[in-house]
Structure 1
Amino acid sequence: MPRTRRLVSGRPLLRGLSLAVFLIGWHLATTYQLDFYVRFQNIPTPARVVSDALTLFASRAFWIHIGASLERIYLGFAIATALGVGLGLLIGWFRVAEDLLFPPIELLRPIPAVAWVPIAIMLWPTERSSIVFITGLGAFFPIVLNTIHGVEGIDRGLVRAAMSLGAGRASIFREVVIPGALPNIVTGLSVGMGVSWICLISAEMISGQYGVGYFTWVAYGIVKYSSIIVGMLTIGVLGMISSTLIRLAGAWLMPWRPRSAKEEA
């Protein structure tokens, strides 16, 4: 068997081993209640978390929290994608659009999404719409900035070559600009998804009545530490699945891009 094929076939085993080491370390630290400045006395063991997770996933209430979070995250992310990619393409390609639209974006971009929570509550009529707004806002800025950089980084030689072949402005924008910026757009989507999960959980903890973030915060308030870990791990798994879906969509949209070959140790 070639060396490359052996390495590829061994990757799932290696990744499973890393998770096993993490779980063993967690088990030992919580079982023996290690206290080396970082304290594990109140951290539940993996077995206790699994037991609590089985109980929670068997209940309808926990699935309602998951459904509420997924609805908010994907709705906010879809709006942010449409606005971020659209505005990013315009700002990156047209100088007038950059002069008119980019200054407000740069002014608002450094403001943390959590700081928008009071304004969102006043702006929007429902809790759901305010949390969707905050979630979309968190995803919008990475998407629009990466799209702008992707357009600005396009090789102008490709544009001149298309013009020499008789392509018009619309054709160049459709056939050269958008495909050329697509790698950066996918990167922005991936980063934006991670940021939107952070914003969603923060908003749910502050102003939500449903959602995984709200569930986790309530579990902290009633001192159910194992439920806190279940909520955290649920957020991690949902975020990982969301990022994986974006990577798969990016690979489908860009079949011409080979997978990057990483050097093996």
Structure 2
Amino acid sequence: MSAILESSESASIRRISAIQQIWNSVRLARVLARFASVLACVGIWQVLAEHHMSFGFMTFANVPAPSDVVPAAWALLHSPKLPMHLLSSVMRVLAGFVAASVVGIGLGLAIGRYRVLEVAVLPPLEVLRPIPAVAWIPLAILMFPSSEMSMMFITFIGALFPILLNTIHGVEGVDPRLVATARSLGTRGGALFSEVILPGAAPAIVTGLSIGMGTAWFCLVTAEMIAGQYGIGYFTWESYTLQNYADIVVGMLLIGAMGMGSSLLVRRVGLALIPWYRMEASQQ
């Protein structure tokens, strides 16, 4: 009997090991496919830029090739100004994002919960939401005495509306039965928000924070066009004015990498703080 049990257990271990190997192979294939996709795009870019190809409605005659961008990126990595560029941009984005998180989550919870606030406050916000960040530059200069505050305000505007709207949708998506059950058990006021509404809306809030971080970086070039001597956005804009076209692409790629990395970090941290959502997702 024991021999049969040992044989069955050994077979189960082998099946699990085989399944794990297949899963690892699938993951490796996905990584390789993504890497190949990036290489293919870079290769197409190199061919189009190197041969100065034109398609009537667009031309690659002045677009730097990857072979030009790599030396420019290497030079920037060894530049003593790079730490100041990074620090300035990160501080501006972080300040705008934190302010947008506080305002967006607080206002979104209130608007999503109380119909009176939705009627009174949401329409003006919907009017402001489609206004691009570049259109806020003149007003930001008039509103704030320092250029640094103006740049932080632009990143704040960029991050605010994704956080606000996702929070509102998250609150509105909370199951009314959970709220009714909590009230029947005597939960009221702040306890209802902290124990029922906020946990229920948390997944949508995390999504809004992740998108908001990305849009804050998206608005960085616009913000740093105002003034300043440092910042990745300023470096990109200055490269354009000086016709250092390879540096433009380096700045764009650096902003993209910073934005993608910070958005992913916000999402990972947010999901780590709401384990109940991960459990529900794994059960579906």
Same fold, TM exceeding 0.5?
Answer: yes
| TM-score computed with the length of structure 2 as normaliser | 0.85
Partner of 1:41: 61
Partner of 1:69: 89
Separation in 2 of the partners of 1:138 and 1:56? 27
1:206, distance to aligned residue in structure 2 (A): 4.1
Please show how residues 159-238 of structure 1 align to structure 2 within 5 Å. 159-238=179-258
Separation in 2 of the partners of 1:208 and 1:114? 16
Taking only the aligned residue pairs, the percentage that are identical comes to 47
Deviations 1:120-159 (A, max 9, x none): 1111111100110111011111111111111011110111
Separation in 1 of the partners of 2:63 and 2:123? 46
Q: Which runs of 5+ in 2 are unaligned?
A: 1-17
Q: Which of 65, 68, 76 in structure 2 is aligned with 1:56?
A: 76
Separation in 1 of the partners of 2:267 and 2:138? 34
Partner of 1:85: 105
Partner of 2:147: 127
Partner of 2:46: 27
Partner of 1:11: 30
Separation in 2 of the partners of 1:114 and 1:223? 22
Contact 2:182 2:192 in 1 (8 A): yes
Deviations 1:208-230 (A, max 9, x none): 43211211111111111111111
Separation in 2 of the partners of 1:4 and 1:256? 25
Question: Residue 64 of structure 2 aligns to a residue in which SS?
Answer: coil
Deviates more, 1:14-23 or 1:173-182: 14-23
Contact 2:203 2:271 in 1 (8 A): no
Amino acid at match of 2:209: L
Higher Cα radius of gyration: 2
1:257, distance to aligned residue in structure 2 (A): 2.5
Question: Residue 131 of structure 2 aligns to a residue in which SS?
Answer: coil
1:74, distance to aligned residue in structure 2 (A): 0.7
Change (3 A) 1:46 1:110: closer
Deviations 1:63-106 (A, max 9, x none): 31222111100110000001100111111112343344334323
Separation in 2 of the partners of 1:55 and 1:239? 22
Contact 1:217 1:228 in 2 (8 A): yes
Q: Which runs of 5+ in 1 are unaligned?
A: none
Contact 2:97 2:213 in 1 (8 A): yes
| TM-score computed with the length of structure 1 as normaliser | 0.91
Amino acid at match of 1:224: N
Deviations 1:178-206 (A, max 9, x none): 01111111121122222222222112124
Separation in 2 of the partners of 1:100 and 1:39? 49
Separation in 2 of the partners of 1:170 and 1:71? 33
Deviations 1:20-48 (A, max 9, x none): 11122222222233223332222222122
Separation in 1 of the partners of 2:179 and 2:200? 10
Separation in 2 of the partners of 1:51 and 1:106? 45
Q: CA RMSD in A?
A: 2.0
Question: Residue 225 of structure 2 aligns to a residue in which SS?
Answer: helix
Contact 2:206 2:271 in 1 (8 A): no
Separation in 2 of the partners of 1:137 and 1:256? 31
